[in-house]
Amino acid sequence: MQASCRRWTVWFLGCWVSVACGAPEMAPTLQHALNGTNSVVYCPTLLMAWDRLAGIVGGPVQMQRADALVQRLNDSPCPDGVVPDEACVVLAGYTARGVVGELDDVLRVKFGAEAPAVPPIFMDKSTALVTYACLQRRLPFPRKFERSPNRVLRFGNGSHATYVLCFGFSENSAVAYAPHVQIVHYEGPDDFVLRLETKVANEFIVLAKMDKPASLLTGVTRVEKNLHAENKGFIEREINGKRELYMNMPDHGDVMAVPLVNLNVAANFPQLCNRNFINRGFEKIWLIQVYQDISFKLDESGAVVRSVAHAAAAGGSAKPRRFIFDKPFLITVWKKNAVQPYLAAWIAAPDMLVPYAGP
C-alpha cells in the first residue's frame, strides 16, 4: 500500500427482510445493551464487512485512540452458517484493481432486478479500498395470516399504549395454521416463543414475548435455547401444583395477534472515524465515515430483510391460549442450525409499528 493513498471506502450493505420511548437504535453487535425504552435492531452486515476489512489490514483492526466499539467489532465476528450464502454478497478489494466493476457484476448476477446500486462514493477517484457486504432476503409465509383494516391491537402500557394494525389468527381459524406455527415455549400470556415457518427451506422467523433482557444477546440466547430443546410434541407446565399439557401447535380457541412492523433505522458511527489505522502498512489511512441502515417489515404475507452500511476512509391445549404481542417483544430471523439469527429486533415502542388510523 503506497503512503500516498489516504482514503479508504468501506460499504456494508446488509439486510432487507419483509416480515412484515425514543428513537430506535442500531446495534452494531448482539452485545448491545437494552437499557432504555427504545426499540433496537441488529443485522450482521457491519460485522461481515468489518471481517473483510480485518483481512485486508492483516489482522484485527487497530486504530489510534480506538473507541471501545473497535474492540467489540474485532471480538464479534459473524459465525459461519448464520447468513444464507445465496442471500448475500461480501467483497473487498482495491479500486485500482477493478473491485467496483466486479462488485456491480456480482450484485446483478445474485439479485437481478433487485440488486442495489453500487454506492456513488465508490466512484470517487480518491477512494483506495472498499469492503462491502450485502444481505437481501424475502421470507413469505406458506399461508397468509388473517388481517383486516379494523383488526387492531393496543400496544404498550397505560397511558403510553397505542392502537396499531396487526395480523394473526382467531379462535376458529387457529387449527388451519398448525402446520406453519410451532409453540416452542409457553409459560403464560406474557412468556412464550413462537416459530413461524416460511416458504424458504430451513429459514424461519421467531417471535418471543418476554421480560426485557439485559441485551440483545441475552434475549437471543434464551430463544436459541428454546429452539434447540427436545421436541416432545407438547409443552408441560405446572401452575399451583397442577400439571397442564399444551400442544406445541395452535389448537381450537387459541388466538394470535402480531403488530405489523415497519422498521427503518439508520446510524452513523463517528467513534470509528478520523483516526489512523496503526496496522503495519496502513498508518496513512483512516476511516472518514461509517454508516449502516436496516429496513425490516413484517406483515400477514411474510418477511423481507435489507440493511446497508458503509465506511469511507481515506409451539389439545389445557385451555385456549392468547399469543398477543401487546407489549415489547423480540423478533429474530434464523437459518436452521445457526448459532445466531441474521436479524434481531427488540420492539419496545410503537414507532416501529403500523398505526391504526381509524376512530
Q: What is the pLDDT of residues 160-191, one digit of tens each?
A: 788 999 999 999 999 999 999 999 998 889 99
Is the residue at 276 inside a domain? yes
pLDDT at res. 129: 78
pLDDT at res. 137: 95
- Distance CA(278)–CA(349), nearest Å, equals 41
Is the residue at 206 inside a domain? yes
Question: What's the mean pLDDT when you consider all of the chain?
Answer: 85
H helix runs in the chain, sequence order: 45-57, 68-74, 99-111, 216-227
Number of domains in the chain: 2
Phi, psi of 53 (to 5 degrees): -60, -45
CATH number of 184's domain: 2.30.39.10
| In a shared domain, residues 191 and 130 | no
Residue 250 and residue 175 in contact, taking contact as beta carbons nearer than 8 Å: yes
| In a shared domain, residues 85 and 112 | yes
Q: How far is CA 121 from CA 9, 74, 118, 146, 286, in A?
A: 8, 25, 9, 44, 16
| In a shared domain, residues 23 and 134 | yes
**Strand pairing class (261-268; 322-324):** unpaired
Is the residue at 147 inside a domain? no
Indicate whether this model's pTM tops 0.75.
Answer: yes
| In a shared domain, residues 97 and 193 | no
Return the number of other C-beta atoms located less than 10 Å from residue 28's C-beta. Answer: 23
Is the residue at 217 inside a domain? yes
Q: Is pLDDT of 74 > 90?
A: yes
Strand partners, 136: 306
Return the number of other C-beta atoms located less than 10 Å from residue 156's C-beta. Answer: 20
Task: For the chain, report the end-to-end CA distance as a whole number of angstroms.
Answer: 64
Is the residue at 132 inside a domain? yes
**Would you state the cell numbers that stand for residue 328, as one nine-digit string?**
415489547
| In a shared domain, residues 136 and 194 | no
Which amino acid appears at position 275 of this protein? R
SS3 content of the chain, % helix, strand, coil (to 5): 20, 40, 40
Instruction: Give the range of the structural domain holding residue 322, as residue numbers without chain letter.
Output: 152-260+317-352
Is the residue at 358 inside a domain? no
Is the residue at 146 inside a domain? no
Residue 299 CA to its chain's centroid (Å) = 15
- Distance CA(97)–CA(228), nearest Å, equals 45
Task: DSSP letter for 172, please.
Answer: T
Phi, psi of 224 (to 5 degrees): -60, -40
- Distance CA(347)–CA(39), nearest Å, equals 5
| In a shared domain, residues 214 and 77 | no
Contacts of 218 (CB under 8 A, 6+ apart): none
- Distance CA(279)–CA(59), nearest Å, equals 8
| In a shared domain, residues 156 and 84 | no
Residue range 112-130: average pLDDT?
Answer: 82
Q: What is the pLDDT of residues 135-157, one digit of tens each?
A: 999 999 999 999 987 789 999 86
| In a shared domain, residues 92 and 12 | yes
**Would you state the cell numbers that stand for residue 28, as one nine-digit string?**
452494531
| In a shared domain, residues 87 and 228 | no
- Distance CA(46)–CA(65), nearest Å, equals 21
Q: What is the pLDDT of residues 303-342, one digit of tens each?
A: 999 886 766 555 344 678 899 999 999 999 999 999 999 9
Q: What is the pLDDT of residues 207-253, one digit of tens each?
A: 999 999 999 999 999 999 999 886 666 666 666 667 777 778 999 89
CATH number of 28's domain: 3.30.497
Is the residue at 192 inside a domain? yes
| In a shared domain, residues 200 and 334 | yes
| In a shared domain, residues 278 and 335 | no
Nearest to 264 by CA among 134, 354, 171, 330: 354
Residue 83 and residue 100 in contact, taking contact as beta carbons nearer than 8 Å: no
Q: Is pLDDT of 203 > 90?
A: yes
Phi, psi of 328 (to 5 degrees): -50, 140
| In a shared domain, residues 128 and 196 | no
pLDDT at res. 1: 39
- Distance CA(263)–CA(270), nearest Å, equals 23
